[in-house]
Chain A
């Protein structure tokens, strides 16, 4: 899952990046409105955390422009202005949620998870796919009730695929959604991680769709 954080306060920005990074997200960051707008307009983010009071371009205008140009990723507004009229304005501009400063990081993370889930069509905080279960709250994956220990990158990959289960996910898509902007994008690394996941998961859940990408299968056969 790839997150964009647009926040001009350097300390808060750093805290958000580290908290989201710890929670398994690939985080891009912007410190002013123009930069934030550009990133959100060009990169495929799974969610955006957007401060309203920003230099150069305010959050509401950024959001409105994104929505006008049909950028549909979930956006959580972050602001000190917690009047209901501000909330209404923000939500009407196209935001999906609203978090008032100062906030508990856990609450923000919970809302981020909820929005990501909602965007991929999952109502509950636990996503199931055949024998696999992903608990988005605790960032744990189990297979037939047994926990699978995953590294951060493996988790990111599997979590993304489970959010988008039932459809084919291309390598490019995975690269775009799993790594930060300045990451060296080599789709071979994806193959390496897929290989590692296949080894760790006792059932053959990851199908390779030739020429297209990967898909999680609902009725996997147990691996040898």
Chain B
């Protein structure tokens, strides 16, 4: 996941919130639980101290001393140093008797009143202290007089319980709480991660769709996309359509321009050819240059209009078939046989018209020069790399006179014609070259095995 990505933003915010909220929640829960446990423990101690007070002081109105509690209340009061203790001490030591639980043995519990602890609303004083073994104790003290009668000798009744048991309980809870919350946090982060991936899945789909358009496998962005992205999808498709419309319009305009210019040029040239003075020759020569320029720049304009247009795939077979049909008809007298070897799945990544121009010009040239036989071979070499880099190799060969090496180098450079005896504009091959280059391809001339010229086109396949 990259730092500057939607996924990271979504994930980081969600994770940060989780990591912030969970510890706070844990702390609050822990506090509440601890207070609750403490309160319930204190309640138990208070109940004990009250019961012992009532038991030993209430029924001792007629006595000079408090009575030992008739009830045991808590069995651990009997076990030495159990942590559970009670202690009844006279506030005026001279006049009273001191009673303690057997568990206390020789130990004396400290009196909260003596440490000037302020009583709470029920009159109980609370204190945390150390026990005989140094263990933490929770003490509660109630001051009462014999028989609850004011004026009688007053006693301090203290009950103590083991605080460490409580601490143990709380720390146990804290451990389990931490574990549970940590697991919840991990789970949340994992869910967030999944959520982000799943939520952003349509973006991947768009990415794939756009790649398909660029590589030409699709012409529009297809597929069921979520409601939020659907407008993007329809806008993108509209953009592609309008792009196409612009190209088509440019093509139409260029065609109109061509038509508008070519007829007057034909008239001028034909008229000048009938003129036998030097002027006529000059006009013919210049008209030819104009004609070549018009053709060249119209082709360039068409190419430029096409540049940047995305996503065109042209199956080669359906382009070749009518061209061969037409050329065989045109060169009927010669009886030219065009042999086509084209795999059915060969596809050109580009405009149909451009492929038509390239193949049409090459085949037409080959037919003009050949004796009888023209061979068109289309290959799509298998590549190990991704489909994007696949190439389309098209070879057009004839059994005509061919060209020598020097001629092959010269031809195509400026659209010049080597032989004026065969009709044709001479621009054919240079247009093929320019078109092939505009697709990042190449066009090479070689000697055909049949003896004539072999032209080898290397174009991007789809």
The interface of chain A, by Cβ under 8 A from chain B, is: 9, 11-12, 15, 19, 53, 79-85, 87-88, 91-92, 96-98, 100-105, 107, 110, 114, 118, 123
Contact = CB atoms under 8 A, between A and B. Distances in A.
B2 interface: no
Contacts of B329: 91, 96
Given A80-B259, A83-B356, A118-B332, A103 B266 contact: yes
Nearest to B332: A118
Nearest to A22: B274
B263 A105 contact: no
A48 to B, nearest CB: 16
B332 to A, nearest CB: 7
14 contacts: A79-B259, A80-B259, A82-B295, A84-B353, A84-B357, A84-B361, A87-B326, A91-B325, A91-B329, A92-B325, A102-B266, A110-B423, A118-B332, A123-B333
B220 to A, nearest CB: 23
Contacts of A96: 329
Given A15-B270, A91-B330, A123-B333, A85 B263 contact: no
Contacts of B271: 11, 15
Contact of A80 (B263, B287, B322, B326): B263
A102 B287 contact: yes
A98 B330 contact: yes
Contacts of A107: 423
Interface of B: 255, 258-267, 269-271, 273, 287, 291, 295, 322-323, 325-326, 329-330, 332-333, 352-353, 356-357, 359-361, 423, 425
Nearest to B290: A102
Contact of A53 (B259, B269, B295): B259
A19 B269 CA distance: 13
Contact of A92 (B260, B322, B423): B322
A28 B230 CA distance: 62
Q: Looking at chain B's contact residues, is the secondary structure mostly helix, strand, loop, or mixed?
A: helix
Contacts of A88: 322-323, 325-326, 356
A166 B325 CA distance: 32
Contact of B263 (A9, A114, A118): A9
Contacts of A100: 262, 425
B307 to A, nearest CB: 18
Given A19-B270, A82-B258, 5 more contacts: A12-B267, A88-B323, A97-B330, A105-B270, A107-B423
Contacts of B255: 81, 83
Contact of B353 (A9, A83, A110, A123): A83
A87 B363 CA distance: 13
Contact of A101 (B263, B333, B423): B263
A81 B270 contact: no
A118 B264 CA distance: 31
A84 B267 contact: no
B396 to A, nearest CB: 14
B259 A81 contact: yes
Contacts of B273: 105
B266 A12 contact: yes
Contacts of A104: 269, 423
A107 B333 CA distance: 16
Contact of B267 (A9, A81, A85, A123): A9
A15 B272 CA distance: 11
Nearest to B330: A97
A191 B271 CA distance: 37
Contact of B357 (A80, A83, A103, A118): A83
A87 B326 CA distance: 8
Contact of B265 (A84, A85, A101): A101
Contacts of A97: 330
B256 to A, nearest CB: 9
A214 B266 CA distance: 41
B267 A11 contact: yes
A29 to B, nearest CB: 15
Contacts of B264: 9
Contacts of B323: 84, 88
B266 A114 contact: no
Interface centre among B325, B329, B359 (most CB of A within 10 A): B329
Given A12-B270, A84-B357, A114-B333, A102 B259 contact: no
B296 to A, nearest CB: 13
Nearest to A84: B360
B356 A101 contact: no
Interface centre among B270, B287, B326, B352 (most CB of A within 10 A): B270
B265 A102 contact: yes
B258 A81 contact: yes
A84 B358 CA distance: 9
- For the complex of A and B, 5 pairs with smallest distance between CB atoms: A84-B360, A102-B266, A80-B262, A80-B259, A101-B262
A88 B266 CA distance: 22
A19 B333 CA distance: 24
Contacts of B333: 114, 118, 123
